């Protein structure tokens, strides 16, 4: 089953609550937390996440693009996160951090940047529910998908299949009507999309079209 996760990063910052409420049919609402260090951009802190949780119907999917994520995860769980992605590149003790997240009762994803090999997640697959493959370099929305990242998705899907592991593969960055089918065919089943949803005048309609294209790519005989 395909899951769609519109990313609020592409919404008008002056109307974030309205944007959060505009996609009730999303499976997750993706929120990019940036600290100005791990990536240069600075975005959502815990009070803002908590306020958004009151406007959003979908569960909140937080992507922590921050240094030392172990210092902040509890605050974000208290703010309303239902899934948290931490970067393999940022966590000094990734396995322990994932165990902590598990004990806090949230779904766990391990995120990897475009230059990070898929092997970076190999020894933590038992401690997460999803792997988030960055299909652009993190920090900004509106970039073009880097094609080599889909080869990494293929490798990860093959590894999961060979080990009989049921894990979500999330792709994040440059997902739109042109790229979504290739991402799904590579093995992604959870699609984060910012500009393609909130860059449109009709976020709910854009989300529905993107979902239809993704589901079409799963069904043999359909051309997407």
Ligand X SMILES: O=C(CO)[C@@H](O)[C@H](O)COP(=O)(O)O
Please identify every residue annotated as catalytic. 32, 172
CA atoms of 183 and 214, how far apart (whole Å): 8
Identity of the residue, 5 or 73, whose beta carbon is nearer to ligand X in the bound complex: 5
The full length of the chain comes to: 224
* Residue 199 marked as a ligand binder: no
**Residue choice 121, 133, 136, 214 for contact with ligand X (CB under 6 A):** 136
Residues in 65-104 at the binding interface with ligand X, rule: CB under 6 A: none
* Residue 126 marked as a ligand binder: no
Residue 113 binds ligand X (CB under 6 A)? no
* Residue 200 marked as a ligand binder: no
CA atoms of 135 and 113, how far apart (whole Å): 8
Residue 58 binds ligand X (CB under 6 A)? no
* Residue 35 marked as a ligand binder: no
Residue 109 binds ligand X (CB under 6 A)? no
**Residue choice 27, 35, 172, 189 for contact with ligand X (CB under 6 A):** 172
Exposure string of 202-222, with b = 16+ CB inside 10 Å and e = fewer, is ebeebbebbbebbbbbeeeee
- Write the binding mask 1 to 40 for ligand X: x where contact by CB under 6 A, - elsewhere: ------x-xx-------------------x-x--------
Stretch (H or E) spanning 96: helix 94-103
Q: Taking the CA atoms of the chain, what radius of gyration do you get in angstroms?
A: 16
Q: Mark the segment that binds ligand X (CB under 6 A) among 19-27, 80-88, 122-130, 139-147.
A: 139-147
Identity of the residue, 9 or 169, whose beta carbon is nearer to ligand X in the bound complex: 9
Phi, psi values for residue 150, rounded to 5°: -75, -25
CB 191 within 8 A of CB 175: yes
Identity of the residue, 77 or 196, whose beta carbon is nearer to ligand X in the bound complex: 196
CB 139 within 8 A of CB 8: no
Smallest gap from residue 7 Cβ to ligand X (A): 4
Q: Whose CA is closest to 65, among 174, 140, 167, 168?
A: 140
Residues that bind ligand X (CB under 6 A): 7, 9-10, 30, 32, 63, 136, 138-143, 172-175, 192-196
């Amino acid at each position: 089953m395909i899951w769609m996760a519109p990313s609020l990063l592409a919404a008008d910052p002056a109307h974030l609550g309205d944007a959060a409420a505009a996609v009730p049919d999303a499976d997750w609402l993706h929120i990019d937390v940036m600290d100005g260090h791990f990536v240069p951009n600075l975005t959502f802190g815990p009070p803002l996440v908590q306020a958004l949780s009151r406007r959003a119907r979908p569960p909140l999917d937080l992507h922590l693009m921050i240094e030392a994520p172990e210092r902040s995860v509890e605050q974000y769980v208290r703010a309303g996160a239902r899934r948290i992605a931490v970067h393999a590149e940022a966590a000094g003790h990734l396995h322990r951090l994932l165990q902590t997240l598990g004990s806090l009762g949230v779904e766990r994803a391990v995120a990897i940047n475009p230059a990070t090999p898929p092997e970076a997640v190999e020894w933590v697959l038992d401690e997460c529910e999803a792997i988030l493959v960055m299909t652009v370099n993190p920090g900004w929305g509106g970039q073009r998908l880097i094609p080599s990242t889909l080869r990494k998705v293929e490798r990860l899907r093959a590894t999961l299949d060979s080990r009989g592991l049921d894990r979500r593969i999330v792709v994040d960055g440059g997902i739109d009507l042109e790229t979504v089918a290739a991402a799904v065919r590579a093995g992604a089943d959870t699609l984060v999309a910012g500009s393609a949803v909130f860059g449109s005048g009709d976020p709910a309609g854009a989300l529905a079209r993107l979902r239809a294209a993704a589901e079409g790519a799963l069904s043999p005989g359909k051309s997407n």
